[in-house]
Structure 1
Amino acid sequence: MIRSLRFRLAIGAVIAVMLSLATVWWSLSRLFTDYVRDRYVAEMTALADSVAAAAVWDKTRFTLNAAWSDTRLGAPAGGRYWQFEAGGQEPLRSRSLWDTRLGDEPLTASDMPPFETTAGPDGAPVLVLSRRSRLEDAPEAGEFTVRVAFAEREITNALEAFHAWLRTMLLLTAAVLSAAAFIQAALGLTPLDRLRGVVARIRAGDVARLDDEGPLEVRPLVREINLLLDERETAIERARQRASDLAHGLKTPLTVLAQLTSRLDPDAADLALRQIDLVRQRADRQLQAARLGVERMATTDVGALMGKLVQVLKPLTEDRGIDWRIDCPSGLSLEADPADLAEAIGNLLDNAAKWTSRRIEAKARREEGAVILTIGDDGPGLTEADRAAMLARGASADASGSGLGLAITADIARAYGGDLTLGASTLGGLEARLSFPERRG
């Protein structure tokens, strides 16, 4: 299936051009063939009439009382021939027939009626026109037949020359019109290319709306996209408002519950505070998930962002002598909200800093249209079963909130069409592999 609209339009135009030119070929070929045949019919009819008009009855036989100026009639195999047949007398013939008689070989139908075809004096085919007539002052046996002929190659050569010229002309016309069809399709779809570029700038956050200027055919699409952008902004504002309302709605009851724990015995109070903190974390996770995908897109430099996050975490691990190593090529970027990307990478770096013994490696690279970030440590790591449970939906955190950052990171990755997987690091601990598509769409 052809997916390119430009190619479809061009191919459709080329097919229409080819069908039109095929019709022109058939029409012109038929017209020229009929024209050439009619010219030869007229010429041969005039020759037959002149032969018939020269017939004279001299009481015993027919003779011809005329001379023809056409030298082709007097030269052997000259290309023009006549033959006069009457009664039982020997046929009278033009000198061009030499010792051949038209009709010695059977006359057969040709592709150009009313002509028939037979062999000429040189063995080449000739086209024959036969006319029957009668002389008024001749006896009952005075009927006669005049046959005139010409070399078939004359008409075939004329048709071949015309068809060669016509073929060349139509091929050139087809080439020019086909090129024009591709150019027209390319120029006709240029506004869509411009529209795609502006939409990409909107997604990157450079502009807010589409310009209403442009071809009349594209303006309805531009208006619909602008309406969609307006609805998106409205939905974003509503989502933010609801998230804010939810945060404020939970903050006060949780604060009151935390204060009430002071009335409990120490063990019960500690358990209650952990549960309240867990509720706060789960609420934060759901608020984060609600915010995903509604922020304006931007192009984020992965290496610069990773460097900033490491600089924030380094002071917290200096007393442990942690060795941070970053490997990220310059210019590697993603179309993602910087806050989302910072939280996803920050959660992984924070988790690695929490469990590592001496060393953390953070790497980023391009791989088959995606950006892959891996963060590994030399800590105790997790078993395969624990890694699967850590990312399972709804089971990403225990009572202390451990693993919630990984679950949030997984949500962020999925929101952008990516994924988070956990495995064994070459350093001996846990390795988190975070993937994002390099281009969204």
Structure 2
Amino acid sequence: MTKSLRFRLAAGALVAIAVALALVWFVLGHLFEDYLADQYANEMAAVSDALGARLAIENGALSLVSEPSDPRFQTPAGGRYWQITPDDPGASPLRSRSLWDEELTKVSLSKDLYCGFHEAEGPDGATILVTVKAMSVGEGDARKSFTIYTAFSKDEMESSLSNYHRPLQLMLAATGLLLLAAAFLQGLIGLKPLVRLRNEVANIRAGRSAHIGSEGPSEVRPLVNEINLLLAERETAVERARSRASDLAHGLKTPLTVLSHLVESLPEDKRDTALQQIELVRQRADRQLQAARMGVERMATTSLLGISGKLVSVLSPVTDGKGIGWKVDIDPALTIEADPADVAEAMGNILDNAVRFARSRIDVSAAKEGEAIILRVGDDGPGAAPENYAMMLKRGVSVDDAHAGSGLGLAISGDIAEAYGGKIVLSRSDLGGLEVALALPAPKNLAPATEAQDSAGRPVALS
């Protein structure tokens, strides 16, 4: 079942409208059917009364003084019919010319009623609807009882019902479309505060605001207040975490420094081992402090080209001395929602690794691939064997002793990427050395890629 409120509201409105229109169709259809049946019943009753009033007794038999003037009674299968059947055995019935040679009897009438009328076969084989009325004329011994049958075409009544139902269907269909449009508009307007709330939360996550405004419908304000309280508590927790991390950093520095001085008096073999362990503790403490800091900073929209340009500018004096050239190919529209300090540290570690191993060229590029922004840094250095890639991302591990370092750079970058839902992938670069791909989730509504620019924002790449 879908979790969309808009879909649920639309589905509920659709069901409610369909039920309401079906009920209207049923009620109006039956009301008109009853009204039409009453009209025909009244017409047939009037014909029966008129016929009864025109009957006379002549020579002991019923005779009709004059017939109804409606020409349909005079036309065979004309659509209106009457018949007078005396109760006397053997007496011949009187009937309209429209019945031709068809005779109506109680036996020939259907037992089931159609809108209150009996059904019978007409002179042309079509169904007619019949009313039956028992009457008498005269008094005393001269009293004569008889039955008057009046009828009309069933097709005529069904045609009238059909002529009524067609415009009713069109009217109800138009009403349904109008109600659906109104329901959609109501849902659109009703959910607009939630859309605004989502945008304000996105602004808070991106670092563009600190809290949600209190304006809005009264139904949403309690939620807004709770979110603002949660944000305030989060900010307090962040400050407390920063304070504790700072206290831990200062608390560890002094004991580690003292231990470093104390081990100097140890024999050389034990001194080197102790110093290595102290350095390992320092590295792990720095790593844990870094991990504690990541993810608690406020999110912000960070330009990859801006940070890359600054980092390249900082590293250029080192690479210029080694004869290493840069090629930066990053769309200025590419941004990520992350703390700039975290992004700078992750990219700085990757670029620093490339600077240490590159011989003459470092390529830096970034592009949106699917739902991720991928920064690629490749060099023309010696590279590394694929079986060593996983080891290179571990803390305190250096694969190349000739270029030994702390072994934390790529590991820190990997942890920063994971903190934001991304990852680091190592592979062989097109230049022949190592390529490090830093993948981070792409922000929503990312602008389309434009012409590649270098670290200074120019459309021409450095090489």
- 1:318-355, Cα deviation, whole Å (9 max, x unpaired): 22211222111221110010000000011011111112
Q: What is the identity percentage for the equivalent residue pairs of Structure 1 and Structure 2?
A: 52
TM-score by length of structure 2 reads 0.88
1:432 to 2:455 alignment: no
Shift of 1:13: 0.9
- 1:143-191, Cα deviation, whole Å (9 max, x unpaired): 3221111122221121111111211111111010000000000000011
Shift of 1:16: 0.4
What residue in structure 2 maps to residue 417 of structure 1? 421
What residue in structure 1 maps to residue 193 of structure 2? 191
Q: Which amino acid in 2 is paired with 1:168?
A: L
1:160 to 2:158 alignment: no
Shift of 1:37: 0.7
Q: Runs (4+) of structure 1 moved beyond 4 Å?
A: 138-141, 265-271, 394-401
Distance 2:37 2:396 in 1: 92
Shift of 1:105: 9.8
Tell me if the contact between 1:107 and 1:118 (Cα under 8 Å) persists in the aligned partners.
Answer: yes
What residue in structure 1 maps to residue 83 of structure 2? 83
Shift of 1:401: 5.2
Q: Which stretch shifts more, 418-427 or 53-62?
A: 53-62
- 1:115-140, Cα deviation, whole Å (9 max, x unpaired): 12223334432211122334453759
1:406 to 2:410 alignment: yes
Q: Which stretch shifts more, 338-347 or 49-58?
A: 49-58
For 1:198, what is the secondary structure of its paired residue?
A: helix
Change (3 A) 1:396 1:8: farther
Shift of 1:45: 1.8
For 1:2, what is the secondary structure of its paired residue?
A: coil
Tell me if the contact between 1:57 and 1:138 (Cα under 8 Å) persists in the aligned partners.
Answer: no
- Name structure 2 gaps, 5 residues minimum: 446-463
Distance 2:392 2:22 in 1: 69
Tell me if the contact between 2:113 and 2:119 (Cα under 8 Å) persists in the aligned partners.
Answer: no
Tell me if the contact between 2:324 and 2:359 (Cα under 8 Å) persists in the aligned partners.
Answer: yes
What residue in structure 2 maps to residue 305 of structure 1? 307
Q: Which amino acid in 1 is paired with 2:233?
A: E
Distance 1:158 1:292 in 2: 79
What residue in structure 1 maps to residue 330 of structure 2? 328
What residue in structure 1 maps to residue 203 of structure 2? 201
Q: Which amino acid in 2 is paired with 1:70?
A: D
Change (3 A) 1:260 1:395: closer
Distance 1:9 1:25 in 2: 24
- 1:305-324, Cα deviation, whole Å (9 max, x unpaired): 11211111121122221122
For 2:255, what is the secondary structure of its paired residue?
A: helix
Change (3 A) 1:329 1:4: same
- 1:59-115, Cα deviation, whole Å (9 max, x unpaired): 432212344233333344332211111231221112333444335993335652431
For 2:132, what is the secondary structure of its paired residue?
A: strand
2:391 is aligned, of 380, 389, 392, to 389
Aligned-residue RMSD, C-alpha: 2.4
Distance 2:215 2:303 in 1: 33
Tell me if the contact between 1:424 and 1:431 (Cα under 8 Å) persists in the aligned partners.
Answer: yes
Tell me if the contact between 2:120 and 2:130 (Cα under 8 Å) persists in the aligned partners.
Answer: yes
Distance 2:213 2:115 in 1: 69
Q: Which amino acid in 2 is paired with 1:60?
A: G
Change (3 A) 1:138 1:127: farther
Q: Which amino acid in 1 is paired with 2:37?
A: R
For 1:439, what is the secondary structure of its paired residue?
A: coil
What residue in structure 2 maps to residue 63 of structure 1? 63
Distance 2:276 2:117 in 1: 111
What residue in structure 2 maps to residue 117 of structure 1? 119
Tell me if the contact between 2:51 and 2:68 (Cα under 8 Å) persists in the aligned partners.
Answer: no
Tell me if the contact between 1:323 and 1:358 (Cα under 8 Å) persists in the aligned partners.
Answer: yes
For 1:108, what is the secondary structure of its paired residue?
A: coil
1:350 to 2:352 alignment: yes
Distance 2:95 2:242 in 1: 110
Q: Which stretch shifts more, 96-105 or 239-248?
A: 96-105
Change (3 A) 1:138 1:54: farther
1:106 to 2:69 alignment: no
Distance 1:423 1:380 in 2: 12
What residue in structure 2 maps to residue 95 of structure 1? 97
Tell me if the contact between 2:60 and 2:142 (Cα under 8 Å) persists in the aligned partners.
Answer: no
TM-score by length of structure 1 reads 0.93
Change (3 A) 1:190 1:387: same
Tell me if the contact between 2:56 and 2:65 (Cα under 8 Å) persists in the aligned partners.
Answer: yes
